[in-house]
Structure 1
Amino acid sequence: MSTTETGHAQQDSYEPSEEFVAQANAGKELFDAADADRDAFWAEQANRLHWHEPFTQVLDWSDAPVAKWFVGGKLNVAYNCVDRHVLDGHGDQVAIHWEGDPGDSRDLTYNDLLAEVSRAANTFTDLGLEAGDRVAIYMPMVPEAIIAMLACARLGLTHSVVFAGFSPTALRSRVDDAEARLVITTDGQWRRGKSAPLKEAVDEALYANGDVPHSVEHVLVVRRTEIEIPWTEGRDLWWHDTVAKASPEHACTAFDAEHPLFILYTSGTTGKPKGIIHTTGGYLTQTAYTHHYVFDHKPGKDVYWCTADIGWVTGHSYIVYGPLANRATQVVYEGTPNSPDEHRHWNIVEKYKVSIYYTAPTLVRTFMKWGHTIPGAHDLSSIRLLGSVGEPINPEAWRWYRKYIGADKAPIVDTWWQTETGAIMMSPLPGVTATKPGAAMGPLPGISAKVVDENGKDVTRGDTEANGYLVLDQPWPSMLRGIWGDSERYKATYWEKYAEQGWYFAGDGAKIDTDGAYWVLGRVDDVMNVSGHRISTAEVESALVGHRKVAEAAVVGATDDTTGQGIVAFVILKGSAGEVDSDALVKELKAEVAREISPIARPREIHVVPELPKTRSGKIMRRLLRDVAEGRELGDTSTLVDPSVFEAIRASK
C-alpha cells in the first residue's frame, strides 16, 4: 500500500477480477507461445487476417535496419477491414456510430462502408490515380475521412493524413514532400457548434510560394458545413457530384506485404517534418493483434470508442485499421469534450452503451478538473475496460479514471507506443497483468524491450536513481520502414545511438521496478539536468498532480547559471480547490516535490495558471512553455487549440 498527500491508503497494484479473467481474450499462454517461437507466434497473428497469397517467410532482417515482414505474402487492407466481414454475413452490423459536433449523427453498417469505399475507389481510379501514388487527406472527424483512407488502401494508394488543425504552411510542406496528386478535404469544419473554413486553407497552401509548382491535380471536397468556399474549375470536385454517383461495386486487388500503406508526418520542433512510412502486412497484423488482446475486444458485442483524431497515429491504428480489421462497432466523434457542455462524452457513452473507452491522460486530467459529479450524473455501467494513450499517465489521474469512469472495477490498459512503432508495444494485458497506477507494465507477447544506460548496459531493476533509455532490441511487424525520401535520416534518428547493438532507440526514458514493471518517463529531451542529476519532467509532474488541489501540471527545464537547468512548473488547480493563497500553495507544492522525489527536484518556480498550451490531440506543448520560462519569443503556435493561453500564462509570472 502507499499513502496519499492527504494520508489515505491506496493500492499499489490491481489484480484483474476473476470475472474478467474468465472471459478474457488473452491468457498467460500468449506469453508462453511468443517466448517459445517468436516467428511462429507472429505467423499465427498474421493468419488472423485474410491473405490473397500466403507468405513464405515471417521476417527478413538481412537488410537491417529495414525489415521485411511476411515475405511473399499479398493482401488487401480494405478487404480485411470491410469486405471479409460482409462476406462472412456481418454486413448489417454497425461499423461506425458517428456523432457530429452540432448533434447530428449517422450509423454506417459494414454493408454501407463497403459500398462507400467502393464508390470512392472507383472515383479515384477515374481521376487517373494508380497504385503507389500519394493522396493527402486534410479532414475533420467525418465518416468520409475514414472512407477515403480505406479507399486509398484498397487501391494501393499511399495516403498522408494531415491533421485538420495544421496550418496551410504545414499542409503544403507535407503535400510537397509526398508529391501528392490528390487532396481530399471538406468545405469547413464544426468546432464547438460553429463552422470554420477548411478548404480555404487548402487553397492557401496550394497557392503558397508564388508560382512554385506542386504535384496536386485535383482537390476533392466533402460538403460538411455549407459555407461558401473558393473554387478552381477543372481542379476542384465535389464529393457528392463524384463519389456519391459512382458504382458501389469494386473488385480489389492484393498488394505485397511491404507495399507502403501510409506516410504520417511527425511534427518536429524545427526543420523538415519526418514522413514515417508504414507498410501493409506487418502493420495490419500488429494493429489487429493488439486491438484484439489489449482491449479484450469481442466482435458484435462491444462498442468501442477511441477519442483520438485520425490525423495522429492513434487514429490510424485504433480507429481505422485495427478495430475495423477486428469487426468492431465503434463510436467516431467529430467534436470536443465540452461542446455544448462538459457532459458531452458521457452523453455519448450512455447513448451508444460504450464498453471500451480509450483516451489520453491530458483529457482524464481535464475531467478531473471539471469534477467527478459530471460523469457521476450518467449511467456509465456499460464501460468494462479503459485505456490510456499519448504520454505516461500520473498515478493520481489513473486512480481517478478507474474510480469515477470505471466504477472502481474496469481494468486500465496504459499503452506505450509511438508513431514510429505503428502499434502498441507495451501495455498490461487486462486478463493477465496486475496493474500499477502509472506503469506501462511491460512489453506485449512478441515484443522485446530493454532499459539501458548510455553504453547499452542493462539498468538495475528497482534502482530509483538508475533511469535509463528505452530500446527495442528485436524487430516488430508494425515498425516503420523508413523516413520518406531520406533513408540516412532514418538510420541516424532511430538507430545511430545503439548502432553497435542494432537496437532501435525510442527516444524515451524509462526505469524498471523491483517487480519488473516498466515505467516510461517521457521523452529524454524532457529529462532535465539539474546539477548533474537527471530528473524526468513526468516524475515532477506526477508529484505535483498528487496534491489534492492540483488538476494538471507541466514541467520544463529552463537554463540556470548555477545548476545548468532549473525546474519551472505550471499548474492548473481543480475546480473544487476554491480560493487559495498562491504563495502558500507554491511553498506546499515545492515541499511536496522535494519529499516525493528529492530536494534536488524542488522546482525553482511554480506558476498557477488557468490553462496549459495544448494541441488539439491533447499534447501539452512543453517546448513553448520552455520559451516562456526562458523569456524567448514563442516558436510556432499554429497547432495549438488556443494560442491566447500564453497571455494568461505570462500574466501569472
Structure 2
Amino acid sequence: MQEFELPIAWRPDDGVIAHANITAQMRRYQIPSYEAFLQRSVEDPDWFWKAFFDDIGFHWHTPYERTVDLSEGKPFAKWFVGGRLNWTYNALERHVQSGRGEAIALRWEGEEGTVRAYTYAQLLDEVNALARGLQALGVQPGDRVGLFLPFIPETAIALLAVSRIGAIALPLFSGFGPEPIISRMQDAEAEWLFIADGFPRRGKIVPMKETALTALESLPQVKRVIVVARAQRDMRIDPAREVRYTDLLQAGDFEAPAFDSETPCMMIYTSGTTGKPKAALHVHAGFPIKAAQDMYHLFDLKPTDTMSWLTDIGWMMGPWLIMGGLILGATVFMYDGSPDYPAPDRVWDMVERHGVTVLGVTPTLIRALMRESAEYADRHPMPTLRLLGSTGEPWNPEPWLWTLEHVGKNRAPIINYSGGTEISGGILGCTVLRPLKPCSFNTVVPGVDAEALNEQGEPVRDEIGLLVVRNLNPGMTRGFWRDRERYLETYWSRFENLWYHGDLSMIDAEGFWYILGRADDTLKIAGKRVGPAEIESVLVEHPDVVEAGVIGVPDELKGQAAVAFVVLRPGTEFTDALAEALRALVAERMGKPLTPKAVYAVPELPKTRNAKIMRRVIRAAYLGEPTGDLSALENPQSVEAIKALR
C-alpha cells in the first residue's frame, strides 16, 4: 500500500508538546516518556482511570470501590463498582459550581445563518426545565426515548435531559425514512419520541414531521411525541399525542439523581453485515467517560477550546461530541446544514467566524470539497484551528495531504481516529506528541491494548492482520439490546477472551498503524489477502477518479478477483481506454495478480450516513444476492445503478 512508503508529513514543535494534556499528566505523575505512559495506562487501570478523573475534576456522588469486576467474564465486565454518578452533572453543574457558568457551553449555526449560544448556566437551566417536563409527561427511568432531530441545540438538550432523569436515549439519523425509524423504535420498545417539524438542506425544507407521522402509524406503543419547531413551519399539533417542545419546559431547579455506574443512558443502532441493525447499549459510566478520555488524551481538548464535528445525532460522533466536549468544559459547536452551501467554503468560513480550534471531518467530505478549487480553503487562514480530527473510513494519501496543507496549513495535525459505536470511541488514534505519516495512526488510544493478529492469533508486523483489543475499557458496550448471543458471536467468538473488532489493520516497521477496511470485505486473490482500501487508494490517485469501491467476486483461476466501481469527476466520460488505464495503474502499483477483473463507473457508491462505503451492498447488488438491511444507507438509489451492471 503506497502510503506505507510515504515519509513523515508533520512533526510537533516544542510548544505543542509542552502544552499538551498528556505532557502535564506525565509531569504530574513523574512518568519519563509517552511510551512509559502508554504502558502504565494498560498495566495499571486502577491508576489510569483514577488519574484521569482527578485530572479533570470528575465528580462521583458516591466514589467507586473497585475499578472493574470480571466475575461474569470479560464480555460482561462491570466498571467502577459501587460508584454512583450522573454523567450530566459532570457536563453541567460541575462547571457552573466551579465558577465557569458564564463560559459558552454550546454554540450552533443553522444552514440559513441563524446562530444561537448557551452558557453553561443557561444550558443547565434549559436541561433542568426539559427534565422536569419529561417527568411531568410520565417518562420513567429506563424508558427508551427516540431522538429524531437534526443537529440543533434542542437535540443536545434532549440527550442531556433524557439521561438526567435515568431514561435511555435512542438517537436516530435525521435523514431516515419511515422504515428504519419503525424498526428501531419497535425493537427498542420506545414509548416517547422527539421530532422536528423539518430542517433546511441546500435551501429547501426537509419535512421531518411528515416522515415521523408515517412511521408513527406503525408505532402504537408511542405515548407522546415532542415536536421541536426547527423550520418554524405552521404545523398542526394533535393534542392527544403531540406536545410542543416549548410547552413542555418547566422552569425550576432539578437535582440530578445519582445512578449506579452501570445504569443505561443510551442505545445506538449500528448496521451489521447481515440481519437487522444491532443496538449497542451504553451506560452512565461508559460512553460519556470514554468520549471525554479520548478527547483529553488524543484531541488534547481543554476548556478554552471550541470543538466541532460535522455529524448527526444518529452517528455516534454526535453524542460523542456533546458528551465528551461538555464533560471537559469546552465549547461544543454544532452545525446543521450542508458543508458546501451556499458556497464551497462554508465550513472554513464557520471555523474562522466561531473560532473553532478542533474540527472533525471525514475523508469523503474532503474528497467532495477537493472537487472545487483549493482556493476556497486557502482564502481562510483559520488562525484558531490547532487540530483536525477524522474518523469513519480509511484515508488515501492525496486528500490527507491536501487537508494538511490547505486546511491545517501544515500547522494543525490530523488526528486520525478509529474505533466504533460499540466501543464508544477509539481503539487507534494519534497523539500530538509524536510525528505523523499520511493516513496513519501514531498510537493506540491510552488505556487500550490493541494488536494485529493473523488467522492463527499470532501478532504480525508489516502485513495485514485482524484488529483485536486484549484488555477492557469502560466504553465497551454492555451488549446488544436483548440479544446476548449475537453480541458474544460478533465480538468474543473469533479469538478467546479478545475483543475482535472486525477491522483489517497493519503495523509498519516504524510502529505506525493503518486501518485497511473491514475484515468481512477482505479479498483473497491467488492466495494473497488484500484489503479493498489498498486498491481503492491506487484508483483515486488517477486524476479522473473521485471515489472508488472494490469488492471480491468468485474467480475460477484465482479463487477471487477484484472488481472496481469508480465515481468520476464531473464532466469525465467513462471509456474503455479509461477503464484499461485504471486497471494498468493498479497492476503497476499493486502487482499484476491484483489487477481488477473489471472497472465500472457509477454515479455514486452506496454509503451509510456517516460516509462509510457499504462494500457488502455493492457485492450483493453486483452478484444478484440479497442486499440485506439497507436502512442505514444515505443513498439507496445507488444500489439500482450497480444492479443494472449485471
| Structure 2 length-normalised TM | 0.92
1:586 corresponds to which residue? 579
- Structure 1 CA distance for aligned equivalents of residues 544 and 147 of structure 2: 42
What amino acid does structure 1 have at the position aligned with 2:525?
A: V
Is contact 2:134-2:248 (8 Å) kept?
Answer: no
| Residues 399 and 437 in structure 1, CA contact (< 8 A), matched pair in contact too | yes
Whether 2:324 is the aligned partner of 1:315: answer no
Q: How far 1:268 moved relative to its partner?
A: 2.6
Cα shift readout 1:322-343 (whole Å, capped 9, x = no counterpart): 0110111122000111222222
Amino acid in structure 2 at the alignment position of 1:332: M
SS of 2:80 mapped into structure 1: strand
The code of the aligned residue for 2:592 comes to P
| Alignment match of 1:60 (pick from 50, 62, 69) | 69
CA distance in structure 1 between the aligned counterparts of 2:626 and 2:153, rounded to whole angstroms: 39
Q: 1:111 Cα deviation (Å)?
A: 1.6
When structure 1 is superposed on structure 2, of 185-194 and 113-122 the one drifting more is: 185-194
Could you tell me which amino acid in structure 2 is paired with residue 356 of structure 1?
A: V
Aligned equivalents of 2:3, 2:457: Cα separation in 1: 35
Indicate the residue corresponding to 1:226 in structure 2: 232
Residue 40 (structure 1) aligns with: 47
Q: Which stretch of structure 1 is more off in the superposition, 89-98 or 199-208?
A: 199-208
Deviates more, 1:359-368 or 1:54-63: 359-368
Q: 1:129 aligns to what?
A: 139
For 1:272, the equivalent position in structure 2 comes to 276
Residue 531 of structure 2 is matched in structure 1 by 536
Residue 507 of structure 1: how far off its partner (Å)? 0.7
Q: Per-residue deviation at 1:124?
A: 0.7
1:5-16 matched pairs, under 5 angstroms? 11-12=7-8, 14-16=10-12
Q: Which amino acid aligns with 1:484?
A: W
**Considering only aligned residues, what root-mean-square deviation do their CA atoms show, in Å?**
2.4
- Cα deviation for residue 645 of structure 1 reads 4.6
The CA deviation at 1:352 is 0.8
1:566–1:604 Cα contact (<8 Å) kept: yes
- Of the three residues 550, 554, 576, the one matched with 1:555 is 550
Q: Aligned ranges for residues 199-214 of structure 1 at < 5 Å?
A: 199-208=209-218, 214=220
Q: CA deviation at 1:626?
A: 2.2
Deviation, structure 1 residue 566: 2.5
Q: Is the 8 A contact 2:202 2:338 kept in 1?
A: yes
Q: How far apart, in 2, do the equivalents of 1:493 and 1:616 lie?
A: 22
Which whole-Å CA distance do the structure 2 matches of 1:283 and 1:492 have between them? 22
Asked whether the 8 Å contact 1:222–1:238 carries over to 2, the reply is yes
2:17 to 6, 9, 21: 21
**1:455 counterpart residue number:** 456
- Partner of 2:189 in structure 1? 179
Taking a change above 3 Å as real, the CA distance of residues 247 and 473 of structure 1, as seen in their structure-2 partners, is same
Query: 1:435 — aligned with what?
Result: 436
SS at match of 1:511: strand
1:369 and 1:573 in contact (8 A); partners too: no
Matching of residue 347 in structure 1 with residue 357 in structure 2: no
The residue number in structure 2 matching 1:415 is 417
Quick one: which of 478, 493, 499 aligns to 1:504? Answer: 499
User: SS state of the match for residue 370, structure 1?
Assistant: coil
User: Is the 8 Å Cα contact of residues 53 and 73 (structure 1) preserved in structure 2?
Assistant: yes
| Deviations 1:176-212, CA, capped at 9 Å, x for gaps | 222212111111222212112212222222212xxxx
> Equivalents in 1 of 2:15, 2:645: separation in Å?
50
Query: How far did 1:143 drift?
Result: 0.8
Partners of 1:101 and 1:335 within 8 A in 2: yes
Q: Residue in 2 aligned with 1:140?
A: 150
**Aligned residue identity for 1:171:** I
Question: Relative to 1, partners in 2 of residues 1:569 and 1:403: Cα closer, same or farther, differing over 3 Å?
Answer: same
- The structural deviation recorded for 1:561 is 4.3
Of 293, 304, 308, the residue aligned with 1:305 is 308
CA distance in 2 between partners of 1:634 and 1:158 (Å): 31
User: What is the percentage of aligned positions where both structures have the same residue?
Assistant: 38
* Selected match of 1:473 from 470, 475, 480: 470
Q: Deviations over 1:554-579 (max 9, x none)?
A: 2222344443332122223456xx76
Q: Which residue of 1 aligns with 2:561?
A: 566
Paired amino acid for 2:508:
D
Matches within 5 A, 1:615-630: 615-630=608-623
| C-alpha contact 1:299 1:327 (8 A) present in aligned 2 | yes
Give the match for residue 79 of structure 1.
89
For residues 207 and 561 of structure 1, the distance between their equivalents in structure 2, rounded to whole angstroms, comes to 50
CA distance in structure 2 between the partners assigned to 1:299 and 1:630 by the alignment: 52
Deviations for 1:197-256, whole angstroms, at most 9, x for unmatched residues? 212222222212xxxx7432111111122335464332111112222xx11421111111
Do the aligned partners of residues 268 and 37 (structure 1) sit closer, same or farther apart at CA in structure 2, a change above 3 Å counting?
closer
2:108 alignment partner, SS class: strand
Q: Is the 8 A contact 1:521 1:536 kept in 2?
A: yes
Structure 2 segments unaligned to the other structure (5+ residues) = 24-33
- The verdict on how the C-alpha distance between 1:491 and 1:35 changes in structure 2, with shifts beyond 3 A counting, is closer
CA distance in 1: counterparts of 2:639 and 2:280, whole angstroms: 31
Contact kept in structure 1, 2:59 and 2:85, CA below 8 Å? yes
One-letter amino acid matched to 1:56: E
Are the aligned partners of 2:349 and 2:380 in contact in 1 as well (CA < 8 Å)? Answer: yes
| Residue 405 of structure 1: aligned partner | 407
Residue 109 of structure 1 aligns with an amino acid whose one-letter code is T
Q: Does the 8 Å contact 2:453/2:468 carry over to 1?
A: yes
Alignment deviations for residues 539-561 of structure 1 (CA, whole Å, 9 cap, x no partner)? 11112223344332222223444
CA contact under 8 A between 2:622 and 2:643: conserved in structure 1? no
> In the aligned structure 1, how far is the partner of 2:643 from the partner of 2:565?
11
* Aligned counterpart, 1:260: 264
Q: 1:366 aligns with which of 365, 368, 372?
A: 368
- The answer to whether the 8 A contact 1:200-1:230 is kept is no
Per the alignment, residue 26 of structure 2 pairs with none
Aligned residues: 631
- Deviation per CA, 1:476-517: give whole Å up to 9, x if none: 11111111111122111110111xx30111011112211222
Answer yes or no: is the 8 Å Cα contact 1:189–1:196 preserved in 2.
yes
Go from structure 1 to structure 2 and tell me whether the alpha carbon gap of 1:79 and 1:601 turns closer, same or farther (over 3 Å shift): same
Q: What's the counterpart of residue 29 of structure 2?
A: none
User: Is the 1:528–1:565 Cα contact (8 Å) retained in structure 2?
Assistant: yes
Question: Of the candidates 88, 91, 94, which is equivalent to residue 104 of structure 2?
Answer: 94
Q: Distance in 1 between matches of 2:540 and 2:530?
A: 16
Matched, 1:286 2:290: yes
Counterpart in the other structure of 2:30: none
Say whether 1:600 aligns with 2:597.
no
> Do the aligned partners of 1:428 and 1:441 also contact (CA within 8 Å) in 2?
yes
**Partners in 1 of 2:567 and 2:379 — Cα distance?**
24
Counterpart Cα distance in 2 of 1:485 and 1:634: 25
Q: Which moved more, 1:319-328 or 1:370-379?
A: 370-379
C-alpha distance 473-35 of structure 1, shift in aligned 2 (>3 A):
closer
Could you say which residue in structure 2 is the equivalent of 1:162? 172
User: 1:380 and 1:651, CA in 2 relative to 1: closer, same or farther beyond 3 A?
Assistant: farther
Q: Normalization by structure 1: what TM-score? A: 0.91
The residue type equivalent to 2:362 in the other structure is A
3-state SS in 1 of match to 2:187: helix
In structure 2, C-alpha distance between the alignment counterparts of 1:642 and 1:162, rounded to whole Å? 17
Secondary structure of 1:420 counterpart:
helix
Query: For residues 359-384 of structure 1, what are the alpha-carbon distances to aligned partners after superposition, in whole Å with 9 as ceiling and x for unaligned?
Result: 11111221222231221222323211
Contact (CA 8 Å) 1:179, 1:214: kept in 2 or not? no
